């Protein structure tokens, strides 16, 4: 075992990884018992891997030592992994962020990482493997191989884990919302979800709009987002923690997450925190996000506003107001006014089996698309 352990340590160092989690005594003596999963897809897909796919994969491979390589700070979203690696080189992270797509990463950086891992390990699990179980919804292979849908959500720590940030929240008066000012927004284009560049000016408009509504934006900023602090300094609060459980605890304490064509609502689900979404109806339907909502949102308040993602790329503040923002702001106020933290779902870990009969099918007819709930 010591030889294998030394090999893993040397390889992680050589390839630029930090070993965020591992248990030395569990490392196998045989290299063929090690499986490595490099996964640098978008945040929505990483949530799906964590909540629906990885736990099932580990269940059918209980004797394998599985190393997950993914976004820094996410290791607590993979409690069934034997080991978790994250990159230390920020230039590599930037190369991955720009091409993080649904269930895949198309960057040259990702190709290099995978090629390097293949030079050291026998068993590398590709994106294609997980796409055979989930791609724009659950595939029939998921039920065939696993028997049912099982989902996992983490235990959310108490707000005192947030330290000084919790003090800032307490001292700042007014209703608070989480905004996630991403550099790329989602749109359904040519039969698939694509990411498009959006300007920082758009996010300045959004933050200003909510400030003018007497709300306090809490800007969650990471590698995927703009840094809005030079423009807004102390007018907003800033959530910068890399540890995903700290982020989820902050979402829970803040009380409402706004998802503007980004997918951050999937993390609100993990936090069992209310959320309002501005999204494309065609993307929502074709990527079957309603399946995730049906499974995970029991007791979680949510509101959707639908508009075209392309509207965010061009136009003026006056056009944005009339086309989608007025409606979205109104629904945000409706959601905030309805919230009672005493009624939020439990913070305990969830690991539950869900019958596939509880997942809605989509029926397309001449009059449009509608949801049909199967009888339970």
Give the domain ranges of the chain: 2-147, 159-343
3 state DSSP class of 249: helix
Share of the chain above pLDDT 70, in %: 94
Q: What is the pLDDT of residues 97-124, one digit of tens each?
A: 999 999 999 999 999 999 999 999 999 9
CB distance 68 to 7 below 8 Å: no
Model pLDDT, residue 341 = 84
| Alpha carbons 47 and 242: distance in angstroms, whole number | 15
| List of E strands, the chain | 17-22, 34-38, 65-69, 83-87, 100-101, 104-105, 123-124, 149-153, 176-179, 184-189, 192-197, 216-220, 237-239, 257-260, 275-279, 302-306, 350-354, 361-365, 368-372
Q: What is the pLDDT of residues 317-341, one digit of tens each?
A: 999 999 999 999 999 999 999 999 8
Phi-psi region of 50 (alpha: psi -120 to 50; beta: other; left: phi over 0): alpha
Q: What is the pLDDT of residues 334-373, one digit of tens each?
A: 999 999 988 887 899 999 998 766 665 544 333 344 433 3
Q: What is the pLDDT of residues 226-268, one digit of tens each?
A: 999 999 999 999 999 999 999 999 999 999 999 999 999 999 9
> Where does residue 372 rank: exposed (0-12), middle (13-18), buried (19+ CB within 10 A)?
exposed
Q: Pull the structure tokens for residue 341.
A: 């933290």
Q: DSSP letters along 135-177, please?
A: SSSB-HHHHHHHSSEEEEEPPPPPGGGGTHHHHHHHHS-S-EE
| Alpha carbons 117 and 155: distance in angstroms, whole number | 32
pLDDT of 293 over the 90 cut: yes
pTM check: above 0.85: yes
Model pLDDT, residue 365 = 39
**DSSP code of 71?**
S
CB distance 42 to 183 below 8 Å: no
What's domain 159-343's superfamily in CATH? Glycogen Phosphorylase B; (3.40.50.2000)
| Average predicted confidence (pLDDT) for the chain | 93
Q: What is the pLDDT of residues 40-86, one digit of tens each?
A: 999 999 999 999 999 999 999 999 999 999 999 999 999 999 999 99
């Amino acid at each position: 075992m010591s030889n294998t352990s030394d090999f893993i340590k040397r390889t992680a160092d050589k390839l630029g990884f930090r070993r965020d989690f591992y248990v030395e005594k569990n490392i196998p003596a045989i290299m063929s018992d090690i499986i490595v999963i490099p996964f640098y897809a978008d945040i929505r897909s990483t949530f799906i891997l964590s909540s629906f796919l990885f736990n099932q994969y580990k269940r059918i491979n209980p004797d394998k030592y599985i190393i997950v390589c993914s976004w820094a700070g996410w290791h607590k979203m993979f409690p069934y992994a034997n080991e978790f690696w994250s990159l230390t080189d920020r230039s590599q992270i930037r190369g991955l962020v720009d091409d993080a797509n649904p269930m895949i990463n198309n960057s040259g950086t990702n190709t290099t990482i995978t090629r390097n891992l293949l030079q050291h390990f026998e068993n590398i699990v590709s994106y294609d493997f997980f796409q055979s179980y989930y791609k724009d919804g659950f595939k029939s292979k998921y039920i065939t191989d696993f028997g049912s849908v099982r989902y996992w959500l983490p235990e959310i720590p108490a707000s005192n884990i947030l330290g000084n940030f919790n003090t800032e929240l307490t001292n700042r008066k007014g209703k608070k919302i989480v905004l996630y000012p991403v550099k790329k927004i989602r749109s359904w284009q040519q039969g698939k979800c694509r990411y498009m560049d959006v300007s920082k000016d758009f996010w300045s408009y959004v933050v200003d709009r909510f400030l003018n509504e007497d709300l306090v934006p809490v800007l969650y900023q990471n590698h995927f987002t703009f840094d809005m602090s030079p423009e807004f300094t102390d007018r907003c609060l800033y959530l910068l923690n890399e540890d995903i459980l700290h982020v989820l605890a902050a979402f829970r304490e803040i009380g409402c997450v706004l998802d503007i064509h980004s997918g951050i609502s999937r993390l609100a689900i993990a936090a069992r925190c209310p959320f309002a979404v501005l999204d494309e109806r065609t993307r929502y339907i074709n990527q079957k996000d309603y399946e995730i909502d049906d499974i995970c949102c029991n007791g979680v308040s949510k509101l959707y506003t639908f508009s075209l993602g392309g509207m965010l790329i061009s136009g003026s503040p006056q056009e944005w107001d009339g086309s989608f923002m007025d409606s979205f702001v109104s629904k945000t106020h409706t959601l905030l006014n309805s919230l009672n933290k005493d009624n939020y779902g439990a913070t305990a870990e969830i690991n539950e089996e869900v019958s596939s009969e509880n997942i809605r099918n989509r029926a397309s007819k001449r009059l449009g698309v509608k949801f049909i709930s199967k009888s339970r």
